[in-house]
Chains A and B, each alone.
Chain A
Amino acid sequence: MNAATALRLYRTMARIRQFEIGASRLMAAGRLPGTLHVSIGQEAVAAGVCDVLRGDDHITTTHRGHGHCLAKGGEPVSMLAELLGRASGYCGGRSGSMHIADPAAGILGANAIVGAGIPIALGGAFAAARKGRGGVAVAFFGEGAVAQGVFHESLNLAALWRLPLVLVCENNLYAELTPVSVHLAAERVADHAAPYGVPGTRVDGNDVLAVRSAAREAVERARAGGGPALLECMTYRWHGHFEGDPQQYREDAEVAEWKAADPLKRLAEALPDAASELAAIDAEAKREIADAVRAAEAEPLAAPASVSAHVYSGGAAR
Chain B
Amino acid sequence: MSTTKYWRAVNAALHEELERDDSVHVFGEDVGVPGGPFAATRGLRDRFGEWRVRDTPISEAAFTGMAVGAAMAGLRPVAEIMYFDFMTLAMDQLVNQAAKMSYMSDGAFSVPLTIRTLCGGHRGSGPQHSQSLEGWLAAVPGLKVVWGGTPADAKGLLKAAIRDDDPVIVIESLGLWTRRGEVPDDPDHLVPIGAGLVRRPGTDVTLVCWGDTVAVAVEAAEALADRGVDAEVLDLRTLSPLDEPLILESLRRTGRLVVVQDAQGPCSVGSEVIRLAATDGFASLRAPAAQVMPPFAPVPFAPDLERAYYPGAEDVVSAALKTI
CB <8 Å contact, A91 and B106 = yes
User: Is there a chain A Cβ closer than 8 Å to B62's Cβ?
Assistant: yes
Q: Does B67 contact A (CB under 8 A)?
A: yes
The listed residue (B104, B112, B142) touching A101 by CB distance below 8 A is B104
- Of A103, A129, A160, the most chain B CB neighbours within 10 A belong to A103
| B233 nearest CB across to chain A (Å) | 25
**A102–B141 CA distance with the chains assembled, in angstroms:** 22
Given contacts A119-B61, A119-B64, A120-B65, whether A109 and B73 have CB atoms under 8 Å apart is: no
**Is residue B66 contacting chain A, with contact meaning CB distance below 8 A?**
yes
- Total interface residues in chain A, CB < 8 Å: 49
Beta-carbon nearest neighbor of B55 in chain A: A160
The chain A residue sitting closest to B111, CB to CB, is: A313
- Judge whether A109 and B109 touch: CB under 8 Å: yes
> With contacts A153-B57, A156-B57 known, is A123 near B109, CB below 8 A?
no
Stretch at the interface among B93-101, B114-122, B282-290, B307-315: B93-101
Q: A311 within 8 Å of B by Cβ?
A: yes
Q: By the criterion CB–CB under 8 Å, are A94 and B65 in contact?
A: no
Nearest CB of chain A from residue B244's CB, rounded to whole Å: 10
Contacts of A113 in B (CB 8 A): 92, 96-97
Contact (Cβ within 8 A) A101 B109: yes
Contact B110 A313 (CB under 8 A): yes
CB-based contact A90/B141 at 8 Å:
no
Interface of chain B residues 29 through 87 with chain A (CB within 8 A): 51, 54, 56-57, 59, 61-75, 77
Q: Is the CB of A312 within 8 A of B102?
A: yes
B102 touches A109 (CB 8 A): no
Given the complex, which residues of A lie within 8 Å of B109, measured CB to CB?
Answer: 101, 103, 108-109
If A113-B96, A116-B93, A311-B103 touch, whether A123 touches B59 (CB-CB below 8 Å) is no
Closest residue of A by beta carbon distance from B51: A130
Chain B residues whose CB sits within 8 angstroms of the CB of A154 once the complex forms: 59, 62, 65-66
CB distance from A163 to the nearest CB of B (A): 9
CB-contact partner of B75 in A92, A126, A160, A161, under 8 A: A126
Q: Is A62 an interface residue (CB 8 A)?
A: no
Would you call B106 and A310 a contact (CB within 8 A)? yes
Is the C-beta of A203 less than 8 angstroms from some C-beta in chain B? no
Residue of A nearest to B101 (CB): A109
When the two chains form their complex, are residues B69 and A122 in contact, meaning their CB atoms are under 8 A apart?
yes
Contact of B70 with A156 in the complex, beta carbons under 8 Å: no
List of A residues within 8 angstroms of B192 by Cβ: none
Instruction: Say yes or no for A314: interface residue by CB 8 A criterion.
Output: yes
CB-nearest residue of chain A to B52:
A130
A94, B108: Cα distance in complex, Å: 12
CB–CB B61/A153 < 8 A: yes
| Cβ of A316 to closest chain B Cβ, rounded Å | 10
Knowing A149-B61, A150-B62, say if A123 contacts B70 (CB, 8 Å).
yes
B204 in the interface (beta carbon within 8 A): no
Using CB atoms, name the residue of chain A closest to B96. Answer: A113
Q: Are A310 and B59 in contact (CB under 8 A)?
A: no
> Contact: B102 with A58, CB < 8 Å?
no
Q: Residue A213 at the B interface, CB < 8 A?
A: no
Q: Known interface pairs A99-B104, A150-B61. Does A120 touch B72 (Cβ–Cβ under 8 Å)?
A: yes
**B165 pairs with A313, CB closer than 8 A:** yes
**Does A201 sit at the interface, judged by CB under 8 A?**
no
User: Are B68 and A119 in contact, CB atoms less than 8 angstroms apart?
Assistant: yes
Contact of A108 among B54, B59, B72 (CB under 8 A): B72
Hey, which chain B residues are within 8 Å of A101, CB to CB? 101, 104-105, 108-109
A69 to B49, CA, bound (A): 36
Give A129's nearest chain B residue, CB to CB: B51
> Which residues from B are CB-within-8-Å of A129?
51
A198 to chain B minimum Cβ distance, whole angstroms, is: 15
A124 near B72 with CB under 8 A, answer yes
Q: Digit string of B201-225 for contact with A (CB within 8 Å is 1, else 0)?
A: 0000000000000000000000000
Asked if A166 lies at the interface with its beta carbon under 8 angstroms from chain B, I say no
**CB atoms of A310 and B65 under 8 A apart:** no
A45 at the interface (CB under 8 A from B): no
Write out, one digit per residue, whether chain A residues 279-314 have a CB within 8 A of any chain B CB (1) or not (0).
000000000000000000000000000000111111
Would B59 and A102 count as touching, CB distance under 8 A?
no
Chain A: CB-nearest residue to B105: A101
Identify the closest chain A residue to B58 (Cβ): A153
* Residues 71 to 101 of chain A near chain B (Cβ within 8 Å): 89-92, 94-95, 99, 101
Q: How far is the CA of A127 from the CA of B113 in the complex (A)?
A: 13
Is residue A318 within 8 Å, beta carbon to beta carbon, of the partner chain? yes
A177-B64 Cα distance, complex, nearest whole Å: 29
B38 to chain A, nearest CB (A): 23
Query: What are 29 contact pairs spanning A and B, CB under 8 A?
Result: A60-B69, A92-B107, A94-B103, A95-B104, A99-B104, A101-B105, A108-B109, A112-B96, A116-B92, A119-B61, A119-B66, A120-B66, A120-B93, A123-B68, A123-B69, A123-B71, A124-B70, A124-B72, A126-B73, A127-B70, A127-B75, A130-B25, A130-B70, A131-B74, A150-B62, A157-B62, A310-B103, A313-B112, A313-B166
Q: Enumerate chain A interface residues (CB-CB to B < 8 A).
A: 58, 60, 89-92, 94-95, 99, 101-103, 108-109, 111-113, 116, 118-131, 137, 149-150, 153-154, 156-157, 160-161, 309-315, 318
Chain B residues within CB distance 8 Å of chain A: 25, 51, 54, 56-57, 59, 61-75, 77, 92-93, 96-97, 101-112, 141-142, 144, 165-166, 240-241
Give 19 new A-B contacts, CB below 8 A, not counting A119-B62, A130-B25.
A92-B106, A116-B93, A120-B72, A122-B62, A122-B65, A123-B68, A124-B72, A126-B73, A127-B70, A127-B73, A128-B73, A129-B51, A130-B70, A130-B75, A157-B57, A157-B66, A310-B105, A311-B142, A313-B102
